Amino acid sequence: MTSTNDIRRSFLDFFAGEGHLAVPSAPLVPYNDPTLMFVNAGMVPFKNVFTGLETPPGPRATSSQKCVRAGGKHNDLDNVGYTARHHTFFEMLGNFSFGDYFKEQAIQHAWTLLTREWGIPAEKLLVTVYHTDDEAFDLWRKIAGLPEDRIIRIATNDNFWSMGETGPCGPCSEIFYDHGDHIPGGPPGSPDEDGDRFIEIWNLVFMQFDQAADGMRKELPRPSIDTGMGLERIAAVMQGVHDNYDTDTFKALIAASEGLTGVAATSDTTASHRVIADHLRSTSFLMADGVLPSNEGRGYVLRRIMRRAMRHAHLLGAGEPLMHRLVPSLVTEMGQAYPELGRGQALIEEVLLREETQFRRTLDKGLKLLDEETGDMGEGGRLDGETAFKLYDTYGFPYDLTEDALRARGISVDREGFDAAMTRQKEAARAAWKGSGDAASDEIWFDIADREGASEFTGYTATSGEGSV
Ligand code: ATP
Ligand code: MG
Ligand code: MG
Ligand code: MG
C-alpha cells in the first residue's frame, strides 16, 4: 500500500521532473487577501501572480497546500462525518503554469500521472468539461482516448472558475473516479451527483480570459494553469478504499480516538470518531499557523470547530478532556511533512486542554437544556431560535454545534429565530452603551460589529475573490 506521505512526495517529484519548482505550503492564514478567512485552495498563495501583481517564482510550480474549508463560500463543516470525501482540513496537490504551458500539456500531465505513473485503470476515470469548451473535449479524446460518453459537458459554474467579479477566469475540467455501482450516487451532471460513487479527485482550471467590470471577457495573451487534487481522495483511490476516512492517516487517528475513549467505531459511533479525527487536524494545523481560539474572526471559527469535536468526545463518553491527548498521533502521522506541527505541539496541547476543560463546565448543562427542550420531539421537529440562542449565549454552544447535536434525530433549528435573538441582544447592548463621548468612533465600532458580528464573524462575502481551486 502506498502511504499518503508517499503519494504527496510522488506528486511533487513527478511535477518537479516536469520542470516545476516545488514550493512549500503557505500558512493557512492568507498573507495576501484580508477578505479570505483561510487558504482554501492551492492557488490562493499565487493570486497576485495570476493577476500580474507579483512575479512568479518560476514559469511552473507545484505544491501541496494546506487548506481549510469551514466557513464562507466553501464550507464543508457540515459534511464532515457524513460524506466519504469532505474534510475541514485537507491538502490540495497542485501544478501551476504561469503563462507557460496551457490546456494540452495540463491534460497530458494529469493523465500521465494518474494512469501511467500511478497505474490507475483508465476505465475507472471520467471527466467533465465546460459545455462550450470543445478544445478540452477534443484533447481528452486525443490524449486519453476517452469515449465521448465519459467526457461530460457541464453548463454550470462548477466548470467555470473565476477569481472574483473581475480578473482571470476560465473553464475547468474535473476528473472523477468511479468507486463502483455498489455505492449510491450518479455521475457528474446527473440529479444525484452529490452521492459518493463518482468522486471528484482533480480539478484542472484553464485561466483563459480576463473579465472586465462590464462582464466582457477577452482572451489572456498568456493563459495559465491552476490545478487542485485532494490528497486524501487520491489516497483513498490508491489504497483501494472508497472512503477518505479509511486511508492510513485517518485510520491511525481514528484508532487513537478509539483507544483513548475505549469506544470502538461502530455504525453508531463512527461519525463521532470521524469528526474528532478531522477536527483534530484542522484545529491543530490552525494553531500551528498562529490562530488561537477567541470570540471573533478566525479565532471563533477555530473555537467552533474545537467545541464541535469536544461534544463528540463527550458523546462517546469521554470522562475527561480528550483532544489534547490525540495530538501526539497527529504529529506522528504528519509531523515530518509539516514540521510546524512538532514545533507547535506543546502550545496546541495546552490550548486544547484549556478549551476543553472550560467547555466541559457548561457542556453538560447545555445538553441537559437541549434535552428538555427537544425530549418529546420526533423526526421533523424544530428547536426554537430563543433556545438555540440561550445555548449559544449562556452555555457557549456555537450555532452549528446545536444543529449538529440534533441532526442525528432529524430535528432542525430555527436559524431566523436565532439570528433575531442575536440582533435583539446587540441592540440592547447598543442602547445600554453610554459611549466614549466620541460619537464618530462609536459609530464606526458599531458599524463593524454589525457587519462582522460582535461575537461571531459571519464570514467573508461570497464575491470577495476566493479561489475555487
Ligand atoms: P466537491 O464538489 O467534492 O465538494 P469541490 O469542487 O468543492 O469538491 P474544488 O474546489 O474543485 O473542490 O477543489 C479541488 C479538489 O480539492 C477537489 O477536486 C477535491 O479533490 C479536493 N477537495 C475539495 N474540497 C475538499 C474537502 N472538503 N475535503 C477534501 N478534499 C477536498
Ligand atoms: Mg465542495
Ligand atoms: Mg465539485
Ligand atoms: Mg471542483
Residue 381 CA to residue 368 CA, distance in Å, equals 18
Residue 78 Cβ contacting ligand 1 at under 6 Å: no
Angle at 285 between CA 281 and CA 289, to 5 degrees: 170
Residue 76 Cβ contacting ligand 1 at under 6 Å: yes
Report the pLDDT value the prediction gives residue 435, as an integer from 0 to 100: 58
Mutate to test the pocket of ligand 1, among 4, 38, 90, 250 (most ligand atoms within 8 A of CB): 90
Helix (H, G, I), strand (E, B) or coil at 464: coil
Atom of ligand 1 nearest to the CA of 92: 16
CB 355 within 8 A of CB 390: no
Residue nearest to atom 20 of ligand 1 (CA): 230
Report the pLDDT value the prediction gives residue 462, as an integer from 0 to 100: 34
Give Cα separations from 116 to 109, 112, 119, 123, 138 (angstroms). 10, 5, 5, 13, 20
**ipTM of model:** 0.99
Helix, strand, coil fractions of the chain, as percent rounded to 5: 45, 15, 35
Report the pLDDT value the prediction gives residue 238, as an integer from 0 to 100: 98
Residue 469 Cβ contacting ligand 1 at under 6 Å: yes
CB 388 within 8 A of CB 417: yes
Residue 89 Cβ contacting ligand 1 at under 6 Å: no
Which residues, in sequence order, are CB contacts of 24 under 8 Å at separation 6+?
A: 63
CB 383 within 8 A of CB 411: yes
Report the pLDDT value the prediction gives residue 436, as an integer from 0 to 100: 53
Q: Give the closest residue to 96 by CA, choosing from 26, 152, 164.
A: 26
Which residues, in sequence order, are CB contacts of 463 under 8 Å at separation 6+?
A: 164, 165
Ligand 2 center to 152 CA (angstroms):
19
Residue nearest to atom 4 of ligand 1 (CA): 86
Alpha helices, DSSP H only, in 208-269?
Answer: 231-238, 248-261
Angle at 246 between CA 303 and CA 343, to 5 degrees: 45
Task: State the greatest distance between any 2 C-alpha atoms of the chain, in Å, as a whole number.
Answer: 73
The set of long-range contacts for 263-271, using a CB threshold of 8 Å and a minimum separation of 24, is 263/316, 263/317, 269/316, 270/81, 271/81, 271/82, 271/312, 271/408
Q: Tens-of-pLDDT digits for all 469 residues of the chain?
A: 899 999 999 999 999 999 999 999 999 999 888 888 999 999 999 999 998 889 999 999 999 999 999 977 788 998 998 899 999 999 999 999 999 999 999 999 999 999 999 999 999 999 999 999 999 999 999 999 999 999 999 999 999 999 888 889 999 999 999 999 999 999 999 999 989 999 999 999 999 999 999 989 999 888 999 999 999 999 999 999 999 999 999 999 999 999 999 999 999 999 999 999 999 999 999 999 999 999 988 999 999 999 999 999 999 999 999 999 999 999 999 999 999 999 999 999 999 999 999 999 999 999 999 999 999 999 999 999 999 999 999 999 999 999 999 998 999 999 999 999 999 998 888 787 665 555 444 454 445 444 444 333 333 333 333 444 5
What ligand is nearest to the CA atom of residue 86?
1
Atom of ligand 1 nearest to the CA of 88: 27
pLDDT digit string (tens) for 168-186?
999 999 999 999 999 999 9
Give me the half-sphere count of Cα atoms (radius 13 Å) on the Cβ side of residue 332. Answer: 12
User: Phi and psi (nearest 5°) for 285?
Assistant: -65, -35
Residue 203 Cβ contacting ligand 1 at under 6 Å: yes
DSSP annotation of 140: I
Residue 92 Cβ contacting ligand 1 at under 6 Å: yes
Ligand 3 center to 158 CA (angstroms):
6
Residue 87 Cβ contacting ligand 1 at under 6 Å: yes
